[in-house]
Amino acid sequence: MAKAWTASEMGRKGGKTRAKHFSKEQISKWGKQGGRPSKMDREALESLRGLLASGKSQGECAEMLGVCTRTIGRVVARLKAGDNGTAL
CA 85 distance to own-chain centroid: 10
pLDDT greater at residue 75 or residue 21: 75
Q: Is residue 88 part of a domain?
A: no
Averaged pLDDT of the chain = 79
Q: Which residue has the higher pLDDT, 63 or 1?
A: 63
Whether residues 1 and 31 fall in one domain: yes
| Domain-embedded: residue 61 | yes
- Give every CB contact of residue 79 below 8 A, 6+ residues apart in sequence: 49, 85
Query: Please, is 28 exposed, middle or buried when counting C-beta atoms within 10 Å of its C-beta (0-12, 13-18, 19+)?
Result: exposed
DSSP reduced 3-state for 66:
coil
31 and 48 inside one domain:
no
Give the domain range for residue 5.
1-35
Q: Does residue 86 form part of some domain?
A: no
27 domain-assigned: yes
Residue 15 reports pLDDT greater than 70: no
| Counted domains in the chain | 2
Q: Based on the domain organization, do 3 and 23 belong to the same domain?
A: yes
Q: How far apart are CA 49 and CA 69, in angstroms?
A: 15
Tens-place pLDDT, residues 31-73: 665 556 677 889 999 999 999 999 999 999 999 999 999 999 9
Q: How far apart are alpha carbons 55 and 58 in whole angstroms? A: 9
Which residue type is seen at 81?
A
